[in-house]
Amino acid sequence: MPTEPHYRAADLVRFATGLFAAAGCDAGKASAIAEHLVEADLMGHTTHGLAQAGAYLEELESGAMVKTGEPKVIADRPAALTWDGGFLPGVWLVRNALDLAIERARKFGIAAVAIRRSHHIGCLSVYLRQATEQQMMCIVACSDPSDATMAPFGGTTPVFTPDPIAIGIPTKGDPIMVDISSSITTNAMTGRLKREGKRYPGKWALDKSGQPTDDPAAIAGGGTLLPTGGADHGHKGYGLALTVEAMTQGLSGYGRAEKPTIWGANVYVQVMDPAAFGGTENYLRETSWVADLCRQSPPPAGKAKVRLPGEQASQRRRQGLANGLALYPGIMAGLEGWAKKLKADLPRPI
């Protein structure tokens, strides 16, 4: 059986930067999107890596994703900012928001940026390293007020998007990178399983009548994603979704009440500087201690050892940077048409 083609991460970034630049993004935006998507693939988040590039290029072509310009500042208080993203590339917006939140957190101890009307922001956990490498704890949450696939717990009609929230926690070693959706599974995973004729590993959805099901096709048939906790204790994911929507739509002051119809994202970014609280050294001692306790907890007989969230992603990333990266099947093939259209050379496998 032939090995799948492997690519150098830098070659993939160069290729994707070329595509987004040719599609009309100014240089900073094109490279920001490209770096983000390849980073997602490096970390193993293959539904949110270059798998999204085609959709982004379509959005840029149609003008739904805006190619140039700056966000509009709605409010700027010492530790709290609000931007109108004007449907600029979400990846670029969130990177800039995070840089600003880090700067303000260093000054005030904690800081947050709420963004309305961003375009799609990709994979949340990719952003976390930007803060944790500077010994900062951070939160990134998003929702899309133009879409809904998850019902409130006890209901049968979609109200929420999967409403993910990611938390970056620096330690003395690799950062802990939590990235959890408020629903058990995501829209991207649902689409992939449905295309591949597969089932969810558990009853992760409700059909139209409100019965739990493992069929991803139920969503397109009027069903809904179940909140985290499922039929058993889904009030927890429901509570998380309400929190994420309040952070991203409430604080940004724009959301479902405006009935937006454009694919986009509302975002909330928050940074806490441990140096401003009980001290960075103390913070790292505590988080590293708990991480060690987790690693040392023995698994049940015959099961794999306990991992920290993001541990596998950090290992994969190191390996991919060192040895090259195999993309999820079909992704490069899906980009060949775009490469031809935008006159970009395909990256050469190594």
DSSP 198: -
Report the residue number, 92 or 268, with the smaller CB distance to a second copy: 268
Range 33-52, binding a second copy (CB under 8 A): none
Q: Is 283 in the site for a second copy (CB under 8 A)?
A: yes
Give the CA angle between residues 190, 194, 196 to the nearest 5°: 120
111, 64, 61, 112: which is closest to 90 by C-alpha? Answer: 64
Nearer to a second copy, 158 or 347 (CB): 158
Output 31 or 132, the one with its CB closest to a second copy. Answer: 132
Q: How far apart are CB 169 and a second copy at their closest, in Å?
A: 5
User: Among residues 222 and 330, whose Cβ is nearest to a second copy?
Assistant: 222
In angstroms, the CA 85 to CA 74 distance is: 10
The region of 17-25, 57-65, 281-289, 311-319 touching a second copy under the rule CB under 8 A is 281-289
- As measured in angstroms, the least distance from the Cβ of 80 to a second copy is 2
Pick 51 or 251: Cβ nearer a second copy: 251
Q: Which of residues 256-275 bind a second copy (CB under 8 A)?
A: 256-257, 270, 272-274
Tell which positions 293-332 bind a second copy, by CB under 8 A. Answer: 293-294, 296-301, 303-309
Residues 192-211 that bind a second copy (CB under 8 A): 201-202, 204, 206, 209-211
Burial (Cβ within 10 Å: 0-12, 13-18, ≥19) of residue 44: middle
Please say which residue, 13 or 126, places its beta carbon nearer to a second copy: 126
Nearer to a second copy, 67 or 256 (CB): 256
Q: Residue with structure tokens 């309305």?
A: 116
Kindly state the number of chain residues that form the binding site for a second copy, as judged by CB under 8 A.
96
Using CB under 8 A, which residues numbered 13 to 32 contact a second copy? none
Q: Give the per-residue contact string, 109-148, with a second copy (x = CB under 8 A; - = no).
A: xxxx-x-x--------------------x-----------
Task: Give the per-residue SS3 of 308-344.
Answer: CCCHHHHHHHHHHHHHCEECCCCHHHHHHHHHHHCCC
Q: CA 161 to CA 247: how far, in whole Å?
A: 14
Segment interacting with a second copy (CB under 8 A) among 7-15, 33-41, 215-223, 248-256: 248-256
Cα angle 249, 251, 255; round to 5: 20
DSSP string, 270-316: EEE-GGGTT-HHHHHHHHHHHHHHHHHSPPSTTSPPP--TTHHHHHH
